[in-house]
């Protein structure tokens, strides 16, 4: 008895040590703050919030996934949540595989949590994983209980009870219900050799979603059967991993049964058996390497957006500089981050740009299809002092993503700026109900109690002087929007720089000339791209705009422009590809290059058909 207790104690100790080691390994690998930004999920404590998820099949597991996602706001909690998820997935997979094949199945089951961690750490929200894991857990429970009774009637009773229980399981898990049915059917058909019960499980898999669609109306076939199962829509590697995760346990269980039935382990010759084992270990090693590569890769503009949200502008710009992407999303983020760092007119042409200023404010309705557009429009309008416009887009974000912490905090700040502290308190009390956010909400509430205008808050103090003093009704151009901001506060630096950027991006030299007298209000030395544009303007018009003295143009800018013109005169009548190849290495980050080609050298590779038609008036 004592020996058994010591053995049990040793097993528990090794298990705890294994969990601790996994937690330590995931600590530097899982960037849970990024996941919170990429997969924002609303969650408020209280029955009122849960009710909205109780009205459709699969709602309860979405509620649970949203709760799980709140752990991302704290690194230790997020890593712990993923550690427990991985351990649970491994135990479930191992337990199921043992029902189909003798042996421990330790290593066979290890691939399942690795796939989950890889996909959950980069590509899909946990909502598309928890239903599957819960469905497999229910199947594991069925397998464990169905083999215990020795009497036939008791075995039948277990099956019937689980068949009936599968109906509320469908309501709870949606697509996770299919995993319960499929695994139970495989278990009955293969391991238990009871085809009648196996067919019964398959019949329930087909009939229950269809029947429940009349209770929780769902006319779409995919919605009935596959809700919360993510379809492939990524690159080949990610799609392959996604399919492998969803099929891992069912396919491996069937394969393990066949291998055990045919006694392949004993029949295979030693070299072939060793090769099979080596292939399995290599597959696990590759999955582990893929997971370990997380800190060394950055998934494009989404990661840059996360860094901007964190206030890490320099690192965000470094990520954006590495992208060969001139989409609206990348251009908006680079322009916004540069403006926040005060380097917009010094470096904007170092990043991918196109001959359009639409990416400055994302005002065109075409951007409504971008999932993040409402949030971006909200933050840029708030920075410009257009608080009412920001409020509108924050409400749009509230509709799109729900009561996430960033939306609730944004709404509270907007109502504080608009002088409505009571409405701000409503959103702060909601923020107080979000896990891990109560302390932050209380700090805001205490500040409001002390001063309803919150003048001491640095953000409020920065934005309030920029706010518009009157309402503008109608459809306005980008130029008019920015001029309205400057009319409200002539010292609005971001509005002024965005207006200058608008003129440069649209080749509006007349607009640039109109506001050049105000350059001295913001700059002691003119920004590089403004100097480049003014040199080009002078060569076309014959003189600099009023208010600009020739000494404002630095000597090296003059010299560089003359060299650019010299090279351009040699290549302007030749193929565009040759001109690009000669000019891009030295001048691809200048306004002159942008003026000729309609884009910067940064971004996708050059294509002749994408080059901007030459102006009637070129920079020389």
Residue-by-residue DSSP string for 170-229: HHHHTTHHHHHHHHHHHIIIIIS--HHHHHHHHHHHHHHHHHHTTTTT---HHHHH-TT-
Inside any domain, residue 385: no
Domain end: 259, 292, 325, which one? 292
CA geometry: angle 545, 344, 576, nearest 5 deg: 75
CB atoms within 10 A of CB 603: 19
Inside any domain, residue 260: yes
619 neighbors 565 (Cβ within 8 angstroms):
yes
Question: Which two tokens mark 258?
Answer: 């066949």
Residues 6 or more apart whose Cβ sits within 8 Å of residue 257: 100, 101, 186, 190, 191
pLDDT for position 445: 96
Residues 6 or more apart whose Cβ sits within 8 Å of residue 589: 347, 349, 350, 600, 601, 602
Inside any domain, residue 453: no
Question: Which two tokens mark 362?
Answer: 């994302």
The count of structural domains within the chain is 2
Inside any domain, residue 573: yes
Phi/psi zone of residue 295: left (φ > 0), alpha (ψ -120 to 50 degrees), beta? Answer: alpha
Inside any domain, residue 246: yes
Sign of CA dihedral 17, 18, 19, 21: positive
Domain end: 292, 315, 337, which one? 292
Sign of CA dihedral 382, 494, 348, 612: positive
What does the alpha-carbon distance between residue 332 and residue 317 come to, in Å, rounded to a whole number?
12
pLDDT for position 614: 45
pLDDT for position 266: 58
What does the alpha-carbon distance between residue 231 and residue 610 come to, in Å, rounded to a whole number?
34
Inside any domain, residue 550: yes
Question: Which two tokens mark 390?
Answer: 């920001």
What does the alpha-carbon distance between residue 15 and residue 12 come to, in Å, rounded to a whole number?
5
What is the value of pTM for the model shown? Answer: 0.90
Average pLDDT of adjacent 10-residue blocks, the chain of 620 residues: 58 83 95 94 95 94 97 96 97 94 85 96 94 97 88 88 96 96 96 94 95 86 90 88 96 90 65 76 92 83 94 93 89 96 95 94 88 93 95 94 95 96 96 96 95 93 92 85 95 97 96 92 94 93 87 92 93 89 94 95 76 42
Inside any domain, residue 98: yes
Question: Which two tokens mark 165?
Answer: 């229980």
What does the alpha-carbon distance between residue 496 and residue 492 come to, in Å, rounded to a whole number?
6
pLDDT for position 615: 43
Phi (first) and psi of residue 606, to 5 degrees: -65, 140
Cα separations in angstroms, 287 against 127, 128, 282, 315: 22, 20, 9, 28
Residues 6 or more apart whose Cβ sits within 8 Å of residue 12: none
Q: What is the Cα 24 distance to its own chain's centre? A: 25
What does the alpha-carbon distance between residue 148 and residue 158 come to, in Å, rounded to a whole number?
10
Residues 6 or more apart whose Cβ sits within 8 Å of residue 499: 479, 482, 483, 486, 511, 515
- Domain span including residue 112: 2-292
Which is nearest to 611 in space by CA: 359, 300, 354, 421?
A: 354
538 neighbors 544 (Cβ within 8 angstroms):
yes
Domain end: 292, 317, 346, which one? 292
Inside any domain, residue 339: no
């Amino acid at each position: 008895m004592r020996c058994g207790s010591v053995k049990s104690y040793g097993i528990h100790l090794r298990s705890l040590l294994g969990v601790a080691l996994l937690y330590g390994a995931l600590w530097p690998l899982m960037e849970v703050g990024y996941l919170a930004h990429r997969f924002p999920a609303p969650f408020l404590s209280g029955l009122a919030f849960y009710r909205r998820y109780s009205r459709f099949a699969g709602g309860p597991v979405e509620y649970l996934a949203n709760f799980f996602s709140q752990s991302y706001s704290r690194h230790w909690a997020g890593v712990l949540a993923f550690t427990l998820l991985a351990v649970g997935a491994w135990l479930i997979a191992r337990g199921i595989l043992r029902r189909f094949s003798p042996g421990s199945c330790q290593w066979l089951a290890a691939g399942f949590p690795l796939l989950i961690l890889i996909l959950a750490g980069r590509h899909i929200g946990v909502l598309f994983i928890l239903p599957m894991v819960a469905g497999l857990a229910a199947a594991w429970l069925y397998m464990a209980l169905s083999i215990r009774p020795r009497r036939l009637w008791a075995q039948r009773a277990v099956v019937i009870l689980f068949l009936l229980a599968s109906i509320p399981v469908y309501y709870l898990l949606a697509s996770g219900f299919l995993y319960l049915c499929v695994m139970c059917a495989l278990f009955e058909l293969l391991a238990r050799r009871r085809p009648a019960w196996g067919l019964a499980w398959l019949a329930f898999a087909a009939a229950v979603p269809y029947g429940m669609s009349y209770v929780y109306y769902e006319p779409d076939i995919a919605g009935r059967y596959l809700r919360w199962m993510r379809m492939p829509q990524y690159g080949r590697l990610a799609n392959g991993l996604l399919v492998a995760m969803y099929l891992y346990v069912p396919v491996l269980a069937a394969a393990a049964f066949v291998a055990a039935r045919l006694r392949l382990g004993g029949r295979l010759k030693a070299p072939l058996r060793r090769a099979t084992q080596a292939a399995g270990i290599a597959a696990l090693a590759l999955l582990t390497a893929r997971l370990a590569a997380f800190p060394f890769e950055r998934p494009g503009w989404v990661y840059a957006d996360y860094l901007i949200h964190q206030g890490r502008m320099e690192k965000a710009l470094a990520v954006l500089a590495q992208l060969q992407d001139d989409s609206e999303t990348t251009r908006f983020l680079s322009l916004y981050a540069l403006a926040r760092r005060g380097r917009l007119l010094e470096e904007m042409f170092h990043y991918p740009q196109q001959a359009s200023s639409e990416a400055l404010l994302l005002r065109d309705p075409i951007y409504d299809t971008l999932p993040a557009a409402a949030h971006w429009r909200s933050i840029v309008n708030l920075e410009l002092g257009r608080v009412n416009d920001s409020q509108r887009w924050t409400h749009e974000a509230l509709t799109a993503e729900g009561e996430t912490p960033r939306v609730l905090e944004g709404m509270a700040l907007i109502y504080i700026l608009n002088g409505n502290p009571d409405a701000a308190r409503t959103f702060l009390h909601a923020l107080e109900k979000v896990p891990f956010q109560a302390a932050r909400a209380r700090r805001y509430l205490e500040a409001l109690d002390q001063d309803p205008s919150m003048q001491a808050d640095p953000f409020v103090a920065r934005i309030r002087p920029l706010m518009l003093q009157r309402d503008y009704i109608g459809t306005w151009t980008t130029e008019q929007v920015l001029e309205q901001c400057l009319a409200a506060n002539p010292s609005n630096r971001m509005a002024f720089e965005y207006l200058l950027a608008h003129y440069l991006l649209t080749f509006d030299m007349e607009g640039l000339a109109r506001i050049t007298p105000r350059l001295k209000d913001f700059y002691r030395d003119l920004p590089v791209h403004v100097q480049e544009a003014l040199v080009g303007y002078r060569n076309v018009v014959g003189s600099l705009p009023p208010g600009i003295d020739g000494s404002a143009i630095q000597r090296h800018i003059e010299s560089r422009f003359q060299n650019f013109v010299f090279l351009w005169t040699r290549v302007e009548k030749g193929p565009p590809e040759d001109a690009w190849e000669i000019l891009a290495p030295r001048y691809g980050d200048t306004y002159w290059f942008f003026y000729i080609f309609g884009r910067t050298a940064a971004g996708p590779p050059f294509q002749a058909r994408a080059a901007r038609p030459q102006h009637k008036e070129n920079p020389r």
